[in-house]
Every structure is written in C-alpha cells, then in structure tokens.
C-alpha cells in the first residue's frame, strides 16, 4: 500500500471558494493505479468516496465531508494523429485544464481555444460539459476513460454514453458511479477558431488566429472576474453559481409578462433569450439583476461579485452556510418576480449529512 491517507484535512484551501470544513480522510492520487487503490481502501474501510479536481465547482459543507476525499493528481497529455487533419488529444484527469488548452492552441489544434481560463482539471470537464464563449467540451469529446464503481472495472465511455447536455451529463447525474481517469478530444490541425459567441466575434477580426482568440477570451473573462487572479477582490468564487434556466413556452410567457408589467423592459425582444433544443434559454444574470439583486451586494462575509451577477463570492472569514443563505435569497427573489427556479451550478460535496443546496 503506497497510499498516504491523512485524517481531518481542511478542504477550504483546496477550493476556489475557500469555504467549508475538513475531509474525514483525504488522499491525493498521482496515477490511475493509486486512484484504484484509493477506491479499494475506501471499500475496505467502509468509507464513502468523494472525488475532487481543482475544487472550482464545489461547495464544501461547514461540517466537512465524511468518508475519503480523493484528489485527482494524475498528469499527462498525449497526442495521436487520426484521419485527415484530426488529432486526438488525451489528457489525464489530474492535468490542469489550462495546460490542455495551451497544448492544443500552441500546436495550432482548433477546438478548445474558447475554453481558456476555466479553472480546474481535465477530469472534471465532462462532468458538467464545461462550456464558454460558444464552445463546449462536448463539441470535441471523443471518449472518457472511467473506473465504473458499479461494475468494478475500467471502461471507456463514448461521447454518446456520457449523455452530455447544457452543464450536465450522465457522470454528473450519477456521481457515485464513475471516476474519470482520462478524457480524449478530437481537434483539427490548422482549423479555424470558433467565433460563434457575439461578444467574442465583435472583439476578434474574422481572420484571428487560435492564439489571438484565446487571448481575447482571457481578456473578456478577466473583466468579469472569471479567471483566477490573486489580486482580484472577486477571486474566491465557484464561477457562475446558477445555470441559465432553459424553460418551456409557458414559463417564458410568464417571464415576458412579468418583465413588461414591472416596466423592466419596453419590448419582449429586450429580454436576453436563446433557442435551446426547442426550448428557450434565459440569462440567469439578467433575471437576478432585474429581480433587484445587484453586482457587489454584500451579506456579511459573502456577496455577489462586483463584476458578474451570476457569481457569488466569499470575502474571507465566512462560512458555507452564509453563502448558501445568500444563494437561497437570490433564488427566492427570482422566483417571486419571474416564477423561474434557478438551479445551482456547483456541486455540494459530502455524501452524508450534507445540507441541500437551496
């Protein structure tokens, strides 16, 4: 047994929110073999298992996390030439995501350039089908190598097996089953950058290189405090705390009526709304601000980012319960004004006794 399992390890420093209690037991694994050893260790000791990447999309309860928390630290990026101009990039789960984007862009491989600046590790990207500025990892995903805890074996899930959707996947819906070990993407050598997102297309010439697009995305993200920057007062966050609600026509009509009746817009087309698989995707940040929650709002030691209404921030010395109370307040306001229920994007860690996200 080469594993170094520690007891009572504070998790806050391992998360971008810097909140929450300790792990009952904790181990960092640097290879697939160690990861599988950790799974066996948990089984042998009757411990619940929780996996942690870069901690940028999790909320740790103040009471901590019971069982064994396994931090994925297996590294490595490989390339394999495929048909035509396709190249398969395989990243180990513990590889920092920005290294993956950098490896692709610096080799002129198109497909991930708009996903720059997203904190965390490669293994977490399929969990919520990470996306930004017009790209989602699902656009390029070929396969996810997993350990299937239900079957007790290593498996390769194809893209369709992952059932990816907007900020969602089968892996997210079934968190106790799959451990992500590695992720593979199909990229295009010499391919054009994706300029699908309005704000990005406006900021980039149509002839922009992959590196220029990446640079522009980073600049846009920085303005919204959406990169990890130690000098940014909004730096302790989990990115967007709420997903954009995807609603049916009836709910959308209620939103329009509420916005017009309250004088929040003069015309329906002033409400940001995008088609999404036959439904309508609303902008959660717009709903939050129009419901009366403003950027920079503070509730004690937590608040709303001064740069982005969708991000909740921790100002230091706070608690997860304060953060969840603020999230609950925001959800209640949006529900009262628009009759829309906002869903929380980050995952609340802790298989036992964890309070539900509001």
Ligand X SMILES: Cc1cc2nc3c(=O)[nH]c(=O)nc-3n(C[C@H](O)[C@H](O)[C@H](O)COP(=O)(O)OP(=O)(O)OC[C@H]3O[C@@H](n4cnc5c(N)ncnc54)[C@H](O)[C@@H]3O)c2cc1C
Q: Which is nearer to ligand X, 57 or 320 (CB)?
A: 57
Q: How far apart are CA 270 and CA 266, in angstroms?
A: 7
CB of 238 to ligand X, least distance (A): 5
**304 Cα distance to chain centroid:** 18
Q: ∠ at Cα 54 (52, 60), nearest 5°?
A: 55
Concerning whether 66 is annotated as a catalytic residue, the answer is no
SS3 track for 81-107: ECCCCEEEEEEECCCEHHHHHHHHHHC
Q: Is 226 in the site for ligand X (CB under 6 A)?
A: yes
Q: Cβ atoms within 10 A of the Cβ of 304, count?
A: 26
Concerning whether 240 is annotated as a catalytic residue, the answer is yes
Q: Is 118 in the site for ligand X (CB under 6 A)?
A: yes
Q: Which is nearer to ligand X, 66 or 125 (CB)?
A: 125
What tokens does 27 get?
A: 């181990």
Q: Which of 66, 184, 237, 240 is catalytic?
A: 240
* Angstrom distances, CA of residue 47 to CA of 4, 256, 352, 356: 15, 49, 11, 21
Q: How far apart are CA 274 and CA 130, in angstroms?
A: 18
Q: Is 347 in the site for ligand X (CB under 6 A)?
A: yes
Which one of residues 21, 61, 111, 131 is an interface residue with ligand X (CB under 6 A)? 131
3-class SS at 289? helix
Q: Which is nearer to ligand X, 51 or 286 (CB)?
A: 51
- Partners of 337 in beta bridges: none
Q: Which of 73, 167, 236, 290 is catalytic?
A: 167
Q: Is 213 in the site for ligand X (CB under 6 A)?
A: no
Q: Is 53 in the site for ligand X (CB under 6 A)?
A: yes
CB of 309 to ligand X, least distance (A): 14
Which one of residues 20, 21, 55, 303 is an interface residue with ligand X (CB under 6 A)? 55
User: Which residues sit at the interface with ligand X, rule CB under 6 A?
Assistant: 16, 50-58, 72, 93, 118-121, 123-125, 127-128, 130-132, 175, 179-180, 226, 228, 237-239, 347
Active centre residues (catalytic): 167, 240, 345
């Amino acid at each position: 047994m080469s594993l170094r399992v520690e007891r009572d390890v504070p998790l806050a420093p391992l998360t971008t929110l810097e909140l929450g209690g300790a792990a009952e037991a904790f181990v960092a694994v640097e290879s697939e073999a160690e990861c599988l050893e950790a799974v066996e260790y948990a089984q042998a000791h009757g411990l619940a298992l929780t996996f942690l990447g870069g901690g940028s999309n999790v909320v740790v309860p103040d009471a901590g996390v019971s069982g064994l928390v396994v931090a994925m630290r297996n590294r490595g990026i490989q390339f394999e030439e495929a048909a035509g101009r396709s190249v398969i990039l395989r990243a180990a789960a513990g590889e920092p995501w920005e290294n993956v984007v950098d490896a692709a862009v610096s080799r002129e491989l198109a497909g991930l350039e708009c996903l720059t600046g997203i904190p965390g590790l490669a293994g977490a990207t399929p969990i919520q089908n990470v996306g930004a500025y017009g790209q989602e990892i699902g656009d390029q995903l070929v396969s996810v190598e997993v350990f299937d805890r239900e079957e007790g074996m290593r498996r390769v899930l194809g893209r369709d097996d992952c059932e990816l959707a907007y900020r969602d996947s089968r892996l997210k819906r079934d968190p106790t089953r799959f451990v992500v070990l590695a992720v593979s993407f199909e990229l295009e050598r010499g391919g054009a950058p994706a300029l699908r997102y309005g704000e990005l297309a406006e900021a980039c010439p149509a002839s922009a290189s992959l590196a220029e697009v990446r640079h522009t995305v980073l600049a846009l993200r920085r303005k919204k405090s959406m990169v990890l920057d130690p000098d940014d007062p909004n730096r302790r966050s989990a990115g967007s705390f709420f997903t954009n609600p995807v609603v049916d026509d009836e709910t959308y009509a209620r939103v329009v009526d509420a916005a017009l009746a309250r004088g929040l817009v003069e015309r329906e087309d002033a409400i940001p709304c995008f088609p999404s698989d036959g439904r309508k995707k609303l902008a959660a940040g717009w709903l939050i601000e129009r419901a009366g929650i403003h950027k920079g709002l503070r509730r004690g030691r937590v608040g709303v980012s001064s740069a982005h209404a969708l991000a909740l921030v921790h100002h230091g010395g706070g608690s997860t319960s304060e953060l969840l109370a603020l999230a609950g307040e925001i959800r209640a306001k949006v529900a009262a004004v628009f009759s829309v229920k906002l869903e929380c994007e980050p995952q609340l860690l802790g298989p036992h006794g964890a309070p539900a996200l509001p």
